[in-house]
Amino acid sequence: MPGKNIILFGPPGAGKGTQAARLVELLGVPHISTGDMFRYHKKNNTELGKKAQVFMDKGALVPDEITIAMVKERLSRADVKQGFLLDGFPRSTPQAEALDTILKELGIKLDHVINIAVSDVEIMKRLKGRAEIEGRSDDADPAVIQNRINTYKNQSEPCLDYYRPRTVVRDIDGMGSIEEIFERIKIVLE
């Protein structure tokens, strides 16, 4: 299957984690998430991990320069030669621009930006359901959910406009069963 360098986009509750697990299995590429990178660098006590920990201990966002350095380090590893699924990065247009620079330096072409689109009403419903099933407190409060949606729309969603002129954005209807959504993604990748 051609074109295995992929960014996965979508609002909180869109089902990115579920679809990412299926895509990684289908494509045989590593799932690269910023959360996993932070945990790796913290656990291995790397210089980047130490720098990130200072901000994480304060409950602050890790600055772009540290996150970008982690992404560059991760995309430089041998296991991404056959492709990658990037999840949780970029989250802003400056991060998307930095990713372009990294990919260019590494000689990697971005093939797809998969955007799982879900309405705000559905997001609210899904996250409330997830809070009940998984006990995730961050998904239980409607005000917190709305703040997460607003943050996504104001910071992350503009990345889609950044990528659209390159015709790499694949808009996927995120309504329906997990299998139906996965089938829609598979069709755009073929």
Residues designated as active site: 16, 91, 130, 136, 148
The single-letter DSSP state of residue 82 is T
Q: Is 189 helix (H, G, I), strand (E, B) or coil?
A: helix
Q: Is 58 helix (H, G, I), strand (E, B) or coil?
A: coil
Q: Is residue 159 left, alpha or beta, with left meaning phi > 0 and alpha meaning psi from -120 to 50?
A: alpha
With vertex at residue 14, the alpha carbon angle to CA 117 and CA 72, rounded to the nearest 5 degrees, is: 95
Whether residue 86 contacts residue 29, with contact meaning beta carbons closer than 8 Å, is answered with no
The single-letter DSSP state of residue 84 is E
